Structure 1
Amino acid sequence: MRNPCHAVEADDLMTRPDPDVITGAPDRVCRQLEAVRALAPLIAGQRNDFDGGRRLPDAVFGALADAGLFRLWLPEALGGPELSPFEFMRVVEAASALDGSVGWLVGNGGGMSRIGGYVDKAVAGEWFSDPRAFIASSTGAVGTAIPVAGGYRLSGRWPFGSGAHHAMRFMVLASVRPEDPDSPLLCCYLGRADVTILDNWHVSGLRGTGSCDFEALDIFVPAAHAHPFLGLQPTQPGLLYRMPPSSVFAWSICGVPLGIASGAICSFAELASRKSRPGTRALLRDRETVQATVGRTRAMLRAARAFLSDAMRDLMAVNETGGERLVEARATIRIANANAAETAMSITDMLAASAGAAAIFETCGLERAARDAHAAAKHVAMSPNNYVIAGRLVLGLDAGTARF
C-alpha cells in the first residue's frame, strides 16, 4: 500500500524547490535534510522520554549535534554551512515534522550559531571548536551589566533558556542602566559554569525543549564576549549577518509551527487509513468531509509558507536599501511569522477534530502536535502583537515598541 505520508513529507520538506534567491550548492541543504531523515528512528524510539524528562535525552541531543544541526548558520569562514534563510527553514521544518521539541532546538541552536558572524573570529573559533557546541539564548528579560575594566559584571535571571541542560554557553540581554527603558541593550555570553539552571519547565507543549529559567550573580563578562543587541556590526560579510538581527532571530524559529503542522497532516493521513468512526466500517479517509479537511489544511500550510518566503525575499532585496522599504519589509515578515503560527494551530486543531476521541490519547501524534503548535505560537516572535505593529506603521504611527 502507498505510504499516505509520502506525498506530504517528500513534497513539503525534502524535495521542495528553493526560492530563486537561494545561494550556495543545492546538495548542502540536501545533506542536512538527509541527516534529519536518518534521525527519525532514534527520535521515535525515545520520544516517550521527552515529556518525562522535560528535555531531550542525551542520546538524541548528541545525535542532533553530531549531524551538524546546531551549526546551520555558522559562517563558512569558521567551517560552518552558512545556510541561506530558505535552506535553514527547510531543515527546521523537517526536524519539526518529526517532533516539535526537536525542531525547536534545531531552530534555536542552529539559529544561535549565527553569532559567529558578530563576535571576533578568534572568539567564535574557540566557542565552536567543539562540534557539539550549543548556545542557549534568552531575550525574555533584561539583566544588569555594570561596566568594569575589560568588560562587565553581570547579574540577572532569564526565562525560556531552550536547551539549557545541554548548553555550553548562554546568551542573555543586559543593560548598563536597567532603570532607563531607553538604555541600549547588550548581548552577553556566559559560560555554563557561570549560570544556575532552575528546573521549572513544567508546561503543556514543547516539553522536550527543557526551556528552563537560569540566573547569574555578579559574573565577569569580557568585552569581547558582548555586543549590542541592535545596530551591531557584523564581522563576516554574508548577507545573513547584515540583515536586521531581530528579523533573523524570529526567522530562526518560524519554521517550527509549519513543520509541526506538516507532521500533523502526515500523522492524520496514517490514522485515517486504518481508523473508522464508531458505528460504521468506513475508514476516515473514505469520507468526503475528511478529504476536504485534509485538502484545506494542505492549502493553508502552503499559503502560510509562501507568505513567509515572499516576506523574506523582500527583506533580503531591500536590506541594503534601508529607509521606509526596509521598515515595511521588517513589519511584513513579523506578520508572516504570526500568520504561520496561527495557521499551524488551526491545522492541528482541524485534524484533531476530524480524528475524534483518538486525538486525545498521548499515543496519537496529533495530541502532541496540537499542544506543541499552541506552545510555539506563544513565542514573542510569532505574537499577534505583530499585527498591531504592522497596522500602526500603515496608519502613519511609529512601531510602538523599542525592539522593532
Structure 2
Amino acid sequence: MRDSCDAVEADDPMARPGPEVIAGAPDRVCRVLVAVQALAPLIAAQRSEFDRGRRLPDAVFAALADAGLFRLWLPHALGGLELSPFEFMRVVEAASALDGSVGWLVANGGGMSRIGGYLADTIARDWFADRHAFVASSTGAVGTGTPVDGGYCVSGRWPFGSGAHHATRFMVLASIRPEEPESPLLCCYLGRRDVTIHDNWHVCGLRGTGSCDFEARDIFVPAAHAHPFLGPRPTQPGLLYRMPPSSVFAWSICGVPLGIASGAITSFAELACRKSRLGTRALLRDRETVQATVGRARAMLLAARAFLIDAMTELMAATETGGERLVKARADLRIANAHAAETAMSITDELAASAGAAAIFETCAMERAVRDVRAAAKHIAMSPNNYIIAGRLALGLDPGAARF
C-alpha cells in the first residue's frame, strides 16, 4: 500500500501544478503553469538571496521574464498572452505557492503589461519588444504633472515600486492641478533613466520584491506616454481593457495571498508526515485535530477562491451593462479581495500554530508564508476598508472612495 507521505510529495507544487490550478485550463495556460513549476528548483536554490538582497536575484528575474510571466496581460496583437482574469489568477497563485515574492512580482509585472491596451500601438510595441520589459508602478502617492507644450513636467516621490531594480519603465500617478482636491489624476510613464531608486525596502515580509521608493524631478513626459488614471480610452478591443482599471488593478494581486496559503498547506502536510509530537513516536498527520485543521484550511481556501471567481464573473458581465450593477460589482470584487487576504492569513496562522516550534525557524516554509501573506494583505486593494465601500452601498449611501 502506498504511504500517504508519498502522495503528499507527488502533489508538491514544487513538482507540478496542483489539480485545482490546472484542471480545465486551456493548453496555453497549462504551458505557462508548467513553466512556473519548472522554475521551482532555481527559486529554492536562490531563496536565501531574496532576503539578503531584498530583491529578486538577476537570474530569477530573468527566468521569470524568459517564461513570459511579465506579459500575461499584454494584448494578443502585441505578442502577449492576454489571459482571462481567471487564467491570470491561476498563474499568480501557482507562482505565489512557490514563493510570495515571486508571485508578487508576477502579479505586478504581468498585471502592468495590460497598459498595452491603453497606449498607442507603436509605443506599446516599442516598450514591450524586449521580453524582459517590466513596468514598476506606484499608486501610493501622487506627484505633480504640470502641463507643458507636448506633454507634462512630472515630479514626485512614490513608494512601493515593486521590481524597481529590474524595471524598464515606471508608472506613476500625477495630478495636473495639485492645489485642487478634485484635480484629474494621470498615469504617467517614466523611463529607467528618469528616476532615482531609494534603497529603503527593509521589511519583514515580501522581502524579495525590492519594493523601494523612487523619485523623479522635472521629467518631461510626452502626452502619448500618459493617460487618465480613471476611465482611460482603450486602444485594444478585449474586455480586459474595457473593465474599470481600478478593479482590474485590484484583481491582479488577489491570487498572491491565496497562493501563499496554498503553498503553506502543502508545506505543512510535508512537515506533518515526518514530525512527531514531543515525547512520542506518533506523527502529526495521525492526530485528528491536525487532520481537521488541514481540512478546514482547504475548505477556507476553496471558498475564498470561489468568492473571487464569482465576483469577477459578475464584474465582467456588469462591464457590458454599466449603471448600478457595475457599481455593486466593483464593490463586491473589493470585498472578495479583502476576504481572500483575511482568509489566507487565518490559514497560515492556524497551520503555523499546529506546526509548533518548527514554524518559528527561518528554514521553515511556514515562517516565510506567515510573514509574506501579512505583508501582501497590507496592500490597499485588500484592505479591510473595502468592506466600508460595500457596506455604504448596501445602506443606500455613495461609495465614499475617491478612487473607487
Shorter chain as normaliser: what TM range?
over 0.9
Residue 22 of structure 2 is aligned to residue 15 of structure 1: yes
AA of the residue aligned to 2:97: A
AA of the residue aligned to 1:15: I
Q: Which moved more, 1:4-13 or 1:360-369?
A: 4-13
Q: 1:149 to 1:206 in 2, by over 3 A?
A: same
Q: CA deviation at 1:280?
A: 1.2
Q: CA deviation at 1:13?
A: 4.8
Structure 1: how far apart are the matches of 2:262 and 2:82? 25
Matches within 5 A, 1:1-400: 1=3, 2-7=6-11, 9=13, 10-11=17-18, 13-17=20-24, 26-400=26-400
Contact 2:22 2:33 in 1 (8 A): no
Q: CA deviation at 1:181?
A: 1.5
**Counterpart position of 1:23:** none
Structure 2: how far apart are the matches of 1:312 and 1:139? 22
Structure 2: how far apart are the matches of 1:321 and 1:5? 47
AA of the residue aligned to 2:7: N
Contact 1:14 1:30 in 2 (8 A): no
Structure 2: how far apart are the matches of 1:148 and 1:15? 50
Q: 1:5 to 1:394 in 2, by over 3 A?
A: farther
Q: CA deviation at 1:6?
A: 4.1
Structure 1: how far apart are the matches of 2:254 and 2:45? 26
Structure 1: how far apart are the matches of 2:307 and 2:150? 45
* Identical aligned residues as a percent: 80
AA of the residue aligned to 2:300: M
Q: 1:231 to 1:394 in 2, by over 3 A?
A: same
Q: Which moved more, 1:189-198 or 1:3-12?
A: 3-12
Contact 1:8 1:265 in 2 (8 A): no
Equivalent pairs, count: 397
Contact 2:105 2:209 in 1 (8 A): yes
AA of the residue aligned to 1:66: D
Q: CA deviation at 1:7?
A: 4.5
AA of the residue aligned to 1:4: V
Structure 1: how far apart are the matches of 2:112 and 2:124? 12
Classify the secondary structure of the residue corresponding to 1:227: strand
Q: CA deviation at 1:178?
A: 1.2
Classify the secondary structure of the residue corresponding to 2:154: strand
AA of the residue aligned to 1:197: I
TM-score computed with the length of structure 1 as normaliser: 0.97
Structure 2: how far apart are the matches of 1:106 and 1:309? 19
Classify the secondary structure of the residue corresponding to 1:325: helix
Structure 2: how far apart are the matches of 1:200 and 1:78? 35
Q: CA deviation at 1:14?
A: 3.7
Contact 2:267 2:366 in 1 (8 A): yes
Q: Which moved more, 1:102-111 or 1:172-181?
A: 172-181
Q: CA deviation at 1:5?
A: 4.9
Alignment root-mean-square deviation, CA? 1.0
Q: Show structure 1 runs of 4+ deviating over 3 A.
A: 5-14
Structure 2: how far apart are the matches of 1:260 and 1:147? 43
TM-score computed with the length of structure 2 as normaliser: 0.97
AA of the residue aligned to 1:342: E
AA of the residue aligned to 1:64: L
- Give deviations 1:89-143, integer Å, cap 9, x for gaps: 0000000000000000000000000000001010000000111000000000000
AA of the residue aligned to 2:107: G
Structure 2: how far apart are the matches of 1:300 and 1:155? 44
Contact 1:205 1:375 in 2 (8 A): yes
Q: Which moved more, 1:155-164 or 1:6-15?
A: 6-15
Classify the secondary structure of the residue corresponding to 2:366: helix
Q: CA deviation at 1:336?
A: 0.2
Query: Structure 1: any 5+ residue segments left out of the alignment?
Result: 19-25
